[in-house]
Structure 1
Amino acid sequence: MSLVEQAKKVAAYQAVDENFPESAKVVGIGSGSTVVYVAERIGQLKNKDSFICIPTGFQSTQLIIDNGLKLGTIEQYPDLDIAFDGADECDPELNLIKGGGACLFQEKLVALSAKKFIVVADYRKKSPKYLGIQWRKGVPIEVVPNSWVKVSQELKKLGAKSIDLRSGGSAKAGPVITDNNNFLIDADFGEIADPVKLHEQIKLLVGVVETGLFCKMADKAYFGEEDGKVSSI
């Protein structure tokens, strides 16, 4: 295991150990390479039969099952005690870009439903100042399929430098389809000095389901560093 991978594991374990409520009844489990270790650590808890885990997508559903945890849905349990997830980028104010894995809507729903939201990632996701510095693929935006052309036009008016309808690549002819049967647009705004304002502007566009800007939602973030240590903000 590389130093970075070791650090991701230590960061995930530390995040669980320092934040998991003893009396937790409903827990959100996100997705990403670092959250694999979060699920692993939660699966080691002696009282794991006493709480339900809510996934944010297919990968997290498998993580919950593979670690012997109880699986539930957000429809059954809309109020969560805590949620753990990864991030594509995190700024010093704990604003995030998420959606690189195409699960942003369900990730935001779970995060917003939790009393406490903890982020775990590696050092490459930590921005020194603004969002858009480390993550250069653009802000993921989930849109109703027949609105993507109009939404793209409006995003350009808001300052998007480039806009891509996310493709399924070699595995699929055509665009990525989200778990909600929508399309994903990746809009590059460069460095984002005011993510709250940008999120609000994008969210008002007809056809936009949700943005990958998670503003003022995270309570704490843990990062596995290049030297194998853990940092947090």
Structure 2
Amino acid sequence: MCSVEGAKKLAAYQAVDNHIKSGYKIGIGSGSTVVYAVDRLAQRVENENINIICVPTSFQSRQLILKNNLTLSDLEVASQLDICIDGADEVDCNLNLIKGGGGCLLQEKIVASCSKELIVIADYTKNSSLLGQQYKKGIPIEVSPLAYVPIKKRLEQLYKGEAVLRMAVNKAGPVVTDNGNFVLDWKNFDQSLDWNKVNLDLIQWPGVIETGLFINMAKKAYFGMQDGSVKVQS
């Protein structure tokens, strides 16, 4: 049986091997699975002498790029990317994603939107039929600190469930994103909602900066499985 960490590595390595070519400008996502993708990229740069440029989606991914001696850039210099490789908290049967468990949803969505294709890498625990089936921490919504209470109340009134302000672990008070905002985690929602409609609605609310719903964005997902295989979903 393959461990969760082993499954992450399998998915990341296969995605990098299948999709990365020399000369590519690559969006580097955030999270634990992306660590393995960057590791594989560094191996290929060293062993195959490929040339790549990496654009991070967070402070964490920026540090990964630097630590592995990869070429670091940003969207000011490389505004059009060939590909973005990123993880997900959950992927449904239609390749809709929940992202933002690490609080990087805004930058992740911006970088993904500047890429020709978004490739998701994950372990088998992230593969679901419906959003919310396995991932119970909620859909992250990045909000302006000024507006978190009105948005929380409106969300719970219109769509039910519970919107919880994400609190920091080793700091008093709420989590603050790289952009200086708060995160509401929307839990116990109706799994049968039209996620495209919900996402379009929420993003129009004053004070909502971005949602962790990535709809019609991913082209393909790689899941490392318990038996050591890799499941590919298109």
The TM tier, using the shorter chain, reads over 0.9
Stretches of structure 1 that go unaligned for 5 or more consecutive residues are: none
Per the normalisation by structure 1, the TM-score is 0.94
Cα distance in 2, alignment partners of residues 158 and 63 from structure 1: 40
* Percent of pairs with identical residues: 51
Does the aligned pair in 2 maintain the 1:83–1:110 contact within 8 Å?
A: yes
Q: Which residue of 2 aligns with 1:125?
A: 126
Q: Which residue of 2 aligns with 1:34?
A: 33
Does the aligned pair in 2 maintain the 1:4–1:228 contact within 8 Å?
A: no
Q: What do residues 138-190 of structure 1 show as CA deviations (whole Å, max 9, x unaligned)?
A: 11000011000111111012213111010002x01111000000010011214
Does the aligned pair in 2 maintain the 1:84–1:120 contact within 8 Å?
A: yes
User: What SS does the aligned partner of 2:159 have?
Assistant: coil
Cα distance in 2, alignment partners of residues 191 and 55 from structure 1: 31
Q: Which residue of 2 aligns with 1:203?
A: 203
Per the normalisation by structure 2, the TM-score is 0.93
Query: How many aligned positions are there?
Result: 230
Aligned-residue CA RMSD in angstroms? 1.6
Cα distance in 1, alignment partners of residues 5 and 210 from structure 2: 31
Letter in 2 for 1:15: A
User: What SS does the aligned partner of 2:77 have?
Assistant: coil
Q: State yes or no: 1:82 paired with 2:80.
A: no
Does the aligned pair in 1 maintain the 2:139–2:213 contact within 8 Å?
A: yes
Question: Runs ≥4 in structure 1, deviation > 4 angstroms?
Answer: none
Q: 1:192 to 1:132 in 2, by over 3 A?
A: farther
Does the aligned pair in 2 maintain the 1:4–1:227 contact within 8 Å?
A: no
- Could you tell me how far 1:5 is from its partner in structure 2? 2.2
Cα distance in 2, alignment partners of residues 48 and 208 from structure 1: 43
Q: What do residues 125-150 of structure 1 show as CA deviations (whole Å, max 9, x unaligned)?
A: 011x2111111111100001100011
Q: What do residues 91-124 of structure 1 show as CA deviations (whole Å, max 9, x unaligned)?
A: 1111100000000000000111000110000011
Stretches of structure 2 that go unaligned for 5 or more consecutive residues are: none
User: What SS does the aligned partner of 1:151 have?
Assistant: helix
Letter in 2 for 1:206: P
Q: Which residue of 1 aligns with 2:98?
A: 97
Cα distance in 1, alignment partners of residues 178 and 49 from structure 2: 27
- Could you tell me how far 1:75 is from its partner in structure 2? 2.5
